[in-house]
Structure 1
Amino acid sequence: MIQRKKPQNLLQFKDVDFSNIHLMLKTKPKSLTFGRCLYTFEYQQQRYWLKTQSLNSHPSIEDGFRNELLFYQQFLAQANSASSQPDFLLPFQMISNFKSLAESHMSGSAALILSDADLLLGNCTEMSLQQIKQTFLKLLDAVDQLHQLGWIHGDLKHEHLVKYQNRACLIDFEQVQKINAIHNPKNLTATPRYMAPELFQGSEKTVQTDIYALGIILYEWLNNQRLSAKNYHDWAYLHCQQLNIELPQPYLAFKQLLCGMLAKQKQQRFTDIATIKRCLVTENA
């Protein structure tokens, strides 16, 4: 398998040779039942992820994977030209006809390959306030880029935030959608832990629902503890009524920021990433 000289964000594996790569299955059991397969592999001392989806297994899961492929598709022309690519993207490649001896039933399906990356948010107790602020600013820059390109991520969570070559990157764009796009609320797909109150009431995803999710991510990070609820109803009660922002003493400087990101009423929440960055710089200088 030969990788030619390539632009920063475009991998160039030859799909016809993929049966010679040792793939390690990392899919969660529940995802396997939906036809999703997630692998890791190594090539020339570099690690990669490969994601694919079997056909005719679960319509909504298949739709999500197709949505992600379409999102990446728009950047291929840029990757093959001198145009600069968004910093929030990991190096990637799409294969239209994936061939593998590891999972013969997946052969013929489309696949997405991404460079491996570490989680962005490590243990904040080992970081200074300035380091915490700089890390979160990098994350805000990544999300701001996405929003400026006209997209909402729609499923921001801790595990979808990674770092690669000192860049904050976003992954898992299955729920990505254009800003102001009209979607059927009945088909809303989101993770209850990070859902803004208005989503529980049937509203559309917006820039401000991304901001709320980021607020939950920051809140859990600073508390070094995940929020908990037993079921969807309990999550709705927590986000819509119960959530009160309480921070450890060393991180009280972030409380005003979190109040603006996690306001229960959408009209009282920060409206864009630029406002969050101004507050972060002003309150935690």
Structure 2
Amino acid sequence: MIQRKKPQNLLQFKDVDFSNIHLMLKTKPKSLTFGRCLYTFEYQQQRYWLKTQSLNSHPSIEDGFRNELLFYQQFLAQANSASSQPDFLLPFQMISNFKSLAESHMSGSAALILSDADLLLGNCAEMSLQQIKQTFLKLLDAVDQLHQLGWIHGDLKHEHLVKYQNRACLIDFEQVQKINAIHNPKNLTATPRYMAPELFQGSEKTVQTDIYALGIILYEWLNNQRLSAKNYHDWAYLHCQQLNIELPQPYLAFKQLLCGMLAKQKQQRFTDIATIKCCLVTENA
């Protein structure tokens, strides 16, 4: 097997490679009931993840996986141009028929393989203010590149941000959508912890809802503490009314930035990533 040749961002596993590969199931119990399977495996001292979805199990979950595959599919068409491969993607591969590879585990129509990567945001208490700024700038660059390609991530959260070969990368594109695409608000799928106030009020996802999610991610990271709420109603109250930005003394220089990212009124929130980066680099942190 050739691991990552041309183009750099594409893995090149073959069916025969899986004859000696042990797939370890890592799916959460609830996801298993929806037909989702997530495996990890090692090959030539490298670790990978494989995600697949069984058919006729849960329509909305199937739609999410199909949406992610379609998102990755567009970059296969650019396979002969390494310069066109986005920096925010991990090396990946799509397999059209996973059943032939691991029928004993489950049956599915397709699979997505990704290189393993560590979480991007480590313990900020062990980092200087400059290191924190540089790490967040890398993240902003990744999201900005996604937006410049015309996409909203739609489900940004701490665990969807990873680092690979000194790059900030994004994963889990099941909720990705085109900017300005029209969607039925009744079909909204999002994580309440990171939802902008307007999403609780039936509005559509936008670049600014991605920005709000990034603000929550940064806020929790700097506080080394996750926000908490008991249920969807409590999350709505927290984001729409209760959230007040309070930071530890060493990180007060980030407060203005967070106020612009977490403004409850969309009209008062930063409108694009470029504005956030400008604010970040001019802070006295």
Paired residues of 2:53 and 2:108 also in contact (CA < 8 A) = no
* Local SS of the residue matching 2:102: coil
Paired residues of 2:121 and 2:158 also in contact (CA < 8 A) = yes
Deviates more, 1:53-62 or 1:7-16: 7-16
Displacement, 1:78? 1.4
Displacement, 1:99? 3.5
Within 1, Cα distance between the matches of 2:241 and 2:276? 23
Pair 42,152 (structure 1): closer, same or farther in 2 beyond 3 Å: same
Matching residue of 2:106: 106
Matching residue of 1:132: 132
Displacement, 1:253? 0.2
TM-score between the two structures when normalised by the length of structure 2:
0.97
Unmatched tracts of structure 2, length 5 or more:
none
Displacement, 1:283? 1.2
Within 1, Cα distance between the matches of 2:7 and 2:101? 29
State the Cα deviation string for residues 127-179 of structure 1 (Å, max 9, x = none).
00000000000000000000000000000000000000000000000000000
Within 2, Cα distance between the matches of 1:62 and 1:243? 34
Displacement, 1:105? 5.8
Paired residues of 2:196 and 2:209 also in contact (CA < 8 A) = yes
State the Cα deviation string for residues 41-99 of structure 1 (Å, max 9, x = none).
00000000000000000000000000000000000021233443110000000000114
* Local SS of the residue matching 2:94: strand
State the Cα deviation string for residues 194-239 of structure 1 (Å, max 9, x = none).
0000000000000000000000000000000000000000000000
* Local SS of the residue matching 1:225: coil
Paired residues of 1:2 and 1:14 also in contact (CA < 8 A) = no
Displacement, 1:185? 0.2
Runs of 4+ aligned structure 1 residues displaced above 6 Å come to: none
Displacement, 1:16? 4.8
Matching residue of 1:62: 62
Paired residues of 1:6 and 1:12 also in contact (CA < 8 A) = no
Pair 228,209 (structure 1): closer, same or farther in 2 beyond 3 Å: same
Paired residues of 1:19 and 1:99 also in contact (CA < 8 A) = no
Displacement, 1:27? 0.5
Within 1, Cα distance between the matches of 2:103 and 2:280? 47
Pair 232,4 (structure 1): closer, same or farther in 2 beyond 3 Å: closer
Paired residues of 1:18 and 1:99 also in contact (CA < 8 A) = no
Paired residues of 2:37 and 2:52 also in contact (CA < 8 A) = yes
Paired residues of 1:100 and 1:106 also in contact (CA < 8 A) = no
Displacement, 1:124? 0.1
* Local SS of the residue matching 2:82: coil
Paired residues of 1:18 and 1:100 also in contact (CA < 8 A) = no
Paired residues of 1:35 and 1:55 also in contact (CA < 8 A) = yes
Aligned residues: 285
* Local SS of the residue matching 1:210: helix
Displacement, 1:109? 1.9
Displacement, 1:264? 0.1
Within 2, Cα distance between the matches of 1:110 and 1:160? 21
Paired residues of 2:69 and 2:94 also in contact (CA < 8 A) = yes
Within 1, Cα distance between the matches of 2:35 and 2:220? 31
Pair 4,181 (structure 1): closer, same or farther in 2 beyond 3 Å: closer
TM-score between the two structures when normalised by the length of structure 1:
0.97
Within 2, Cα distance between the matches of 1:206 and 1:105? 38
Deviates more, 1:74-83 or 1:171-180: 74-83
Matching residue of 2:175: 175
Pair 237,108 (structure 1): closer, same or farther in 2 beyond 3 Å: closer
Paired residues of 1:19 and 1:100 also in contact (CA < 8 A) = no
Unmatched tracts of structure 1, length 5 or more:
none
Pair 216,82 (structure 1): closer, same or farther in 2 beyond 3 Å: closer
Displacement, 1:17? 4.1
Displacement, 1:40? 0.5
Matching residue of 2:239: 239
Q: CA RMSD in A?
A: 1.4
